[in-house]
Structure 1
Amino acid sequence: GFRTFAAWALTAFVLTTLDTANRLARFAWTELFDWLKPRAPTAHSLLTNRWVASALAVIVGALMAYPKIENPLKPGTFIYAYSIVWPAFAGTNQLLAALALLTTTLWVYAILRVRGAVSALMVVPALFLWVTVTAALMLWLIYVVPYLPVLYIAGAGTIVAISVVLDFLLIGLFVRGLMQARRA
Structure 2
Amino acid sequence: MAALRHLGAVLEAQKDSYDRQVLVLGLDGAGKSSILHCLTTNTVKEHPGTTYGFNSLSVNTEGFKIDLLEIGGSPNLRTYWNLYLSKADVLLFVVDSADSKRLPLVQHELHLLLAEQPELALILLAHKQDKSDALSPCQMHQELALQRVQRKRKFAILATSLMQSGIGTAKSIQDLRTLLIEFLL
State which structure, 1 or 2, has the greater radius of gyration over its C-alpha atoms. 1
**TM-score of the alignment, normalized to the shorter chain, above 0.5:** no
TM-score of Structure 1 vs Structure 2, range by shorter chain: under 0.3
Structure showing greater relative contact order (alpha-carbon pairs closer than 8 Å, 6 or more residues apart): 2
TM-score of the aligned structures, taking structure 1 as reference length: 0.28
